[in-house]
Amino acid sequence: MTSRALLAAAVLVLGTGTATLLPARATAADPALPDDVVSTIRKANVGGALATLSAWVDLDGDVQPELLVYVVGPGACGTGGCTLWVFARNGSEYRVVGKIGPVQTPVRVGTGTGAGWRDLVVAVGGGGARAGWRQLVFDGRTYPRNPTVMSSQVKTAAAGEGDIVIPELHAFSDATPLPPAR
């Protein structure tokens, strides 16, 4: 992780080609993380302290934001970074449309699209991976699982491409503790 100052989390609403940056939502014991999202993350990361940085972003242009959750903790991180989850609303619940790792912060939303969804731009490096930026393209069902493996869904991105939606994290204590599964 880099040492740049932690930026305030923000909600980025992406619509018809224009982007509006809105004030950040409160994240302390974040009531914005739905119970089923917390449960899903907890089931995948059994044991250990977990913390998150999250952002609500309209990735598919339907004016209903998707939820990006960057999870930090022993089961979610390795030498190459941590896990980024992407959730979409499905009725009254949320479904996983991406579990991506290893990823470093910041996380950005790019200008490109795949299957009508905005591309994600993430930092990679460490754990044997060469440092750089990757553009992750949605395939109509999911985002690619591993951003260090180049494919038609994982492309090289320019540094600084896109809008930051999850800021750079330089200390575990800068993230919000994930509540216990409810």
CA distance 100 to 62: 23
How much is the pLDDT for 79? 92
Residue 25 has pLDDT above 60, yes or no: no
Is there a contact between 48 and 75 (Cβ–Cβ < 8 Å)? yes
Ramachandran region of residue 63, left (φ > 0), alpha (ψ -120 to 50) or beta? Answer: left
Both structure tokens of 80 = 């190459």
136-154: pLDDT as tens digits? 999 999 999 999 999 999 9
- 51-62 average pLDDT score: 96
Q: Which of 73, 81, 72 is nearest to 54 (CA)?
A: 72
pLDDT of residue 12: 28
Distance of CA 122 to the CA centre of its chain: 8
For the chain, helix, strand, coil in percent to 5 are: 5, 45, 50
What is the reported pLDDT for 139? 97
- Look over the chain and give the mean of its residue pLDDT values, rounded to a whole number: 83
Rounded to two decimals, the pTM is: 0.83
**Structure token digits, residue 108:** 């950005």
Domain residue ranges of the chain, discontinuous segments joined by +: 11-177
H runs (alpha helix) in the chain: 35-44
Q: What is the mean pLDDT of residues 159-174?
A: 94
Query: Rounded CA gap, 53 and 147, in Å?
Result: 19
Which among 23, 29, 35 is positioned nearest to 51, based on CA atoms? 29
Instruction: Name which of 14-18, 113-117, 125-129, 136-140 the model is least confident about.
Output: 14-18
